[in-house]
């Protein structure tokens, strides 16, 4: 539930409400504005408790949170969450463009493409060091060697890096190299992993599962936030439908829905969302038009030789053209 305090309420009255809530077994989260303080209380709510809190000095009203997700809810936190990654901020009204190959394939290749995407307008780098693949015989990634390559690319380009985490046993290793840990679609409901990531002080990029409803996706974010980490970035990457022309069906309605229901930033992955490189730029434009906070796009020097996801990867030149269009659209929308 949400406790809205009166304007310019004394600090003692806020503390009294906090103490009462804690005595009743609630976890308490304060959100202080210039004139008002909002107290979020997570726990077993009853009408009697709500009535008791509402009669306390300094309380203006008590509002129940009706959604199953509490801490991710916009009712719980009215101001949008922004996530700082190095010098970049996700959710502040800018458009972040995360780019790079699906997998880190080697030192020379990755360092080359990293510099290419930076010169084309990327604000962060992506690359998989640990790759969850449908077939156990497919390329699984370079693992820690790949993380070292990512770290070197960050040193050379100055761009933050995003890479996938699959196993709670290696969180410390991955966290020591990367700036943002990505939870892939296959692990969206790996609740043990989500809980452990909630204990980290690193931003988490949470991809939507291929068959997940929006509520299930937000509840996955709730696992991370309720475990202590509020730095969650949602990522729409397409869902499984009856359509088989594209790899997935990119659900762009998720962008305004996440904005309406939660305070979390959201980015869009048009590469996995379509599986076809010719559709990436149009869907990236559509995602920006829908109001997303950023894009994550796969780029490879020679997609036909990529070790994974070549058909959905842009060449550096096509990526440059996409970024130019995205930036112009975003600027026009801001003027509007």
CB-based contact 21:53 (threshold 8 Å): yes
Measure the CA–CA gap between 1 and 41, rounded to whole angstroms.
Answer: 5
- Of the ranges 127-141, 147-161, 232-246, which one carries the lowest mean pLDDT score? 127-141
Q: What distance in Å separates the CA atoms of residue 302 and residue 101, rounded to the nearest whole number? A: 10
Nearest CA among 256, 241, 299, 262 for reference residue 122: 299
110-114, 131-135, 275-279: which has the minimum mean pLDDT? 131-135
Distance, in Å, from the CA atom of 261 to the CA atom of 67, rounded to the nearest integer, reads 9
Q: Which of 22-36, 281-295, 321-335 has the lowest mean pLDDT?
A: 22-36
For residue 63, list its beta bridge partners.
2
Give the per-residue pLDDT at 29: 85
Judge whether residue 210 has pLDDT over 70: yes
Give the closest residue to 202 by CA, choosing from 176, 234, 184: 176
In this structure, the dihedral spanned by the alpha carbons of residues 32, 34, 36 and 37, taken in order and rounded to 10 degrees, is 10
Residue 215 has pLDDT above 80, yes or no: yes
Say yes or no to pLDDT of 297 above 80. Answer: yes
Residues 78-113: tens digit of each pLDDT: 889 999 999 999 999 999 999 999 999 999 999 999
State residue 32's pLDDT score.
80
Minimum mean pLDDT range among 74-83, 163-172, 266-275, 307-316: 74-83
Task: Tell me which residue of 42, 92, 94, 46 sits closest to 69, measured CA to CA.
Answer: 42
Rounded CA-CA distance 129/306 in Å is 14
Percentage of the chain lying above the pLDDT 90 cut? 83
User: Which distant-in-sequence residues (6+ apart) come within 8 Å of 12 by Cβ?
Assistant: none
pLDDT grade, residue 65 (50/70/90)?
confident
Give Cα 124 to chain centroid, integer Å: 14
The pLDDT score that the predictor gives to residue 131 is: 72
What is the Rg, in whole angstroms, of the alpha carbon atoms belonging to the chain?
21
Does the pLDDT of residue 137 top 70, yes or no?
A: no
Can you give the length of the chain in residues? 336
Q: In what order do the strands lie in the sheet with 2-5?
A: 27-32, 37-42, 2-5, 59-63
Residues paired with residue 99 on neighbouring β-strands, in sequence order: 125, 297
> Does residue 140 surpass a pLDDT of 70?
no
pLDDT score, position 36: 81
CB atoms under 10 Å from CB of 66, counted, come to 9
50 vs 140: which has the higher pLDDT = 50
**Global confidence as pTM:** 0.90
Cα 118 to Cα 316: distance, rounded to the nearest angstrom? 10
Tokens of 39: 């107290």
Write down the residue that tokens 């730029």 correspond to.
Answer: 281
Contact between 178 and 184 under an 8 Å Cβ cutoff? The reply is no
Q: Is the pLDDT of residue 8 over 90?
A: no
- Mean pLDDT value across the chain: 94
**pLDDT score of 134 more than 80:** no
Q: What is the pLDDT of residues 153-185, one digit of tens each?
A: 999 999 999 999 999 999 999 999 999 999 999
What are the DSSP calls for 83-96, one per residue? EEETTEEESSS--E
Considering only CA atoms, which of 32, 27, 34, 35 is closest in space to residue 1? 27
Q: 30 falls in which pLDDT band (50, 70, 90)?
A: confident
Which band of pLDDT confidence, cut at 50, 70 and 90, is reported for residue 270? Answer: very high
Residue 204: the pLDDT is: 98
Residue 34: predicted pLDDT: 72
Domains and CATH numbers, the chain: 2-63 (3.30.70.1140), 83-335 (3.20.20.70)
Q: What is the pLDDT of residues 36-59, one digit of tens each?
A: 888 989 888 888 999 999 999 999
The percent helix, strand, coil of the chain (3-state, each to 5) is 40, 20, 40
Q: Say yes or no to pLDDT of 138 above 80.
A: no
- Eight-state DSSP code of residue 176: T
């Amino acid at each position: 539930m949400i406790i809205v305090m009166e304007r310019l309420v004394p600090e003692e009255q806020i503390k009294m409400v906090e103490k009462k809530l804690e005595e009743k077994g609630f976890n308490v989260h304060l959100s202080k504005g210039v004139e008002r303080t909002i107290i979020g209380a997570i726990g077993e709510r009853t009408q009697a408790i709500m009535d008791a809190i509402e009669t306390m000095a300094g309380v203006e009203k008590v509002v129940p949170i009706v959604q199953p997700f509490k801490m991710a809810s916009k009712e719980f936190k009215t101001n949008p969450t922004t996530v700082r990654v190095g010098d970049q901020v996700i959710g502040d009204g800018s458009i972040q463009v995360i780019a790079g190959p699906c997998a880190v394939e080697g030192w020379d290749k990755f360092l080359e493409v990293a510099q290419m995407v930076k010169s084309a307008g990327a604000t962060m780098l992506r690359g998989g060091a640990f790759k969850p693949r449908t077939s156990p015989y497919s390329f699984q990634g370079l693992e820690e060697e790949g993380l070292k390559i990512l770290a070197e690319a960050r040193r050379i380009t100055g761009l933050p890096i995003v890479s996938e985490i699959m196993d709670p046993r290696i969180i410390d290793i991955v966290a020591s190299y990367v700036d943002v840990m990505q939870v892939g679609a296959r692990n969206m409901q790996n609740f043990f992993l989500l809980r452990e990531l909630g204990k980290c002080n690193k931003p988490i990029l949470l991809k939507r599962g291929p068959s997940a409803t929006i509520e299930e996706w937000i509840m996955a974010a709730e696992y991370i936030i309720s475990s202590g980490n509020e730095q969650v970035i949602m990522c729409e990457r397409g869902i499984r439908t009856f359509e088989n022309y594209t790899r997935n069906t990119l659900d762009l309605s998720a962008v305004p829905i996440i904005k309406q229901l939660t305070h979390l930033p959201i980015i869009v992955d048009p590469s996995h969302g379509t599986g076809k490189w010719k559709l990436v730029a149009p869907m990236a434009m559509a995602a920006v038009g829908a109001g997303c906070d950023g894009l994550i796009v796969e780029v490879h020097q020679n997609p036909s030789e990529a070790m994974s996801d070549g058909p959905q990867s842009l060449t550096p030149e096509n990526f440059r053209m996409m970024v130019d269009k995205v930036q112009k659209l975003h600027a026009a929308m801001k003027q509007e």
